[in-house]
Amino acid sequence: MALPDRVRLVVLFGGRSAEHEVSCTTAAHVLRALDLDRYEPVPVGIARDGSWLRADDAIAALHAGAGSLPDRLEATGTAVEPIPTMQPQPAAPGGADIPVVVLPLLHGPFGEDGTIQGLLEMAGVPYVGSGVLSSSVSMDKVAAKELLSAHDIPQGAWMSARRHEVDDDLLALAADRLGFPMFVKPANMGSSIGISKVHQAEDLAAAVAEASRFDEWLVFEENIVGRELECGVLGNLTPRASVIGEVRPGADFYDYADKYEDGAELLIPAPISAPMSDELREIALRTFAALRCEGMARVDFFWEEDGRGPLVNEVNTIPGFTPISQYPKLWEASGLSYGRLLDELVALALERHERRSSFESER
């Protein structure tokens, strides 16, 4: 679907999750890359208390030139009502309405987990990325792993539990099944927040307490010794996969500092064989389809070269767009610039909305 001549792009950033600051950084770089001849950007920050605020300072900076934007936006400004903010606006008296597309850049809970997508569905506006079900399932590591298992997509060994179910017997079972070291994670969180790498049984309780700060559902995963590889997927009905990238962590594992403070070494394209690349791309597309993703996603893998081969680690339906983020870099290496990537995501949002709107809502 071709892009209209003019689009009102509501850029949602901030949010109530622990990834608020990451989102604010992402939004600044997205705004800086927009073609202002095509887009009318409306940056809207969601504060930590859930209030919606038009980012007046960012709008003023855009009018002064994209270079005037700060490296990170602030979720401050004039209070706005969510749904009116996302309605089409007339181009001029008697002119055609300017279509609105919402670009959610809300990482983690209350943004990447289907909650904001549900609001946008109720408002009847196109938005970038996956729908309610896919966003929710992909965000929840337990649900995603269960669904990928049903589709015979390879993964590492894992267990899950709700916080109130964790006792000495369950921790002993995790130690017996998964061994050490192992990872303990909150099921619904990203950017490596709340994750612990546990080397001995005595430290499991502390890792559970840390993960429980962010979610009541917990995931216990085996430590996989292998290469960390990533693939970007882009599209709706006929998605395509990017070149493969490799992450070489600067820390004990690919943690928050590595992702957002330039600590990891990122190799794009990854130094792997063509057959290995083809296999990863094929599994990435299968994973995208199994989780019913649309628009975009980044599929993360481990590769045990002398063992089980490629293992899916997790899927991010709103991957980062900071300057050191893998997703835009993967597509740049695949021949799609940052600006063109944003254009395609907006076009995919309009196509999906038109397709989904064709179904009857009343029975």
At 266-281, the pLDDT tens digits run: 999 999 999 999 999 9
Output phi, psi for 124, to 5 deg.
70, 35
Strands 100-104 and 7-14: parallel
Kindly state the average pLDDT of the residues 64-93: 83
Domains and CATH numbers, the chain: 7-127 (3.40.50.20), 138-154+225-349 (3.30.470.20), 158-222 (3.30.1490.20)
Does residue 260 surpass a pLDDT of 70?
Answer: no
pLDDT band at 254 (very low <50, low <70, confident <90, very high): very low
Least-confidence region, from 39-48, 236-245, 257-266? 257-266
Q: Mapping DSSP to helix (H, G, I), strand (E, B) and coil, where does residue 111 land?
A: coil
The one-letter amino acid at 119 = L
Task: Tell me what pLDDT residue 173 has.
Answer: 97
154-171 pLDDT per residue, tens: 999 999 999 999 999 999
For 208-225, the three-class secondary structure string (H helix, E strand, C coil) is HHHHCCCCCEEEEEECCC
pLDDT class for 107, splitting at 50, 70, 90?
Answer: confident
Check residue 164 and give its pLDDT: 96
C-alpha 330, offset from chain centre: 14
Bridge partner list, 301: 229, 312
HSE, CB side, 13 Å, CA atoms: give it for residue 286.
Answer: 16
Helices and strands (H, E) in the chain, number of each type? 12, 16
Give 267-322 pLDDT, tens digit per residue. Answer: 999 999 999 999 999 999 999 999 999 999 999 999 987 788 899 999 999 998 87
pLDDT of residue 298: 98
- Confidence band for 363, pLDDT divided at 50, 70 and 90: very low
Confidence at 192, pLDDT banded by 50, 70, 90 = confident
Residue in 283, 305, 284, 228 with CA at minimum distance from that of residue 259: 228
- Please report, for residues 16, 58, 59, 130, 134, the alpha-carbon distance to residue 101 in angstroms, rounded to integers and kept in the order given: 22, 19, 17, 14, 19
